[in-house]
Amino acid sequence: MARTASPSADRDLKLLRRLLRAKDHMDAAPHEEWPVSRLARVSGTSEAYFARSFRDAFGIPPHRYLLTRRVERAAALLRDTDLPVTEIALQTGWNSLGTFGRTFRDVTGESPGALRQRMQAIPGQLEQVPHCFVRAAQRPDLRMAVSEKRRRTGDDKAGATETEVP
């Protein structure tokens, strides 16, 4: 037998692996309700033991971990879709728009609307850069015009929300 680990160390590893299962479940469905009783069942531990073990293992209490995952998903939807904020709040597991907005601000430091505006302005431009360069390389005559246009858009603060559609 090549195993040198002690039985207690082995038990601890198996516990960590089961706690990971609770984390995986929250990752897979962060919009669902995850009370400690449900998470403890997934991990095969007692409720009293679960919250403490989870925090020890992952450095964050399970409830807060779930909130960060929800906020992360909400931020992605705000950035990548045009869904109304209310719809995003519902889709990511909040029952009230007020709670969503408050929690979102607490976690990210800005409101859902402000984040949407900022994120949609930045990645839109970044996304265009490679395309612009590709096109510019293929059509040297347009190179200066494209870069000049981009420079103007960047300088023009009032037009920052405007994006170029290829």
Q: Is 57 in the site for another protein (CB under 8 A)?
A: yes
Could you tell me which of 98, 19, 106, 18 has the C-alpha nearest to residue 64?
106
CB of 10 to another protein, least distance (A): 8
Q: Is 51 in the site for another protein (CB under 8 A)?
A: no
Q: Is 28 in the site for another protein (CB under 8 A)?
A: yes
Nearer to another protein, 39 or 100 (CB): 39
Q: Is 23 in the site for another protein (CB under 8 A)?
A: yes
Report the C-alpha gap between 22 and 32 in whole angstroms.
13
Q: Is 4 in the site for another protein (CB under 8 A)?
A: yes
- CB-CB contact of 104 with 74 (8 Å): yes
Helix (H) or strand (E) holding 25: helix 7-28
With CB under 8 A as the contact rule, which of the stretches 14-22, 37-45, 60-68, 135-143 interacts with another protein?
A: 14-22
Report the C-alpha gap between 112 and 118 in whole angstroms.
10
CA 70 distance to own-chain centroid: 7
The angle at the Cα of 38, spanning 59 to 13, to the nearest 5 degrees, equals: 45
Q: Is 17 in the site for another protein (CB under 8 A)?
A: yes
Could you tell me which of 87, 88, 111, 91 has the C-alpha nearest to residue 101?
111
Q: Is 3 in the site for another protein (CB under 8 A)?
A: yes
Q: Is 76 in the site for another protein (CB under 8 A)?
A: no
Q: Is 56 in the site for another protein (CB under 8 A)?
A: no
CB of 18 to another protein, least distance (A): 9
Q: Is 58 in the site for another protein (CB under 8 A)?
A: yes
Per CB under 8 A, which of residues 84..123 are in contact with another protein?
none
CA distances in angstroms from 37 to 32, 42, 103, listed in the order given: 14, 9, 23
Residues that bind another protein (CB under 8 A): 2-5, 9, 12-14, 16-17, 19-21, 23-24, 27-28, 57-58
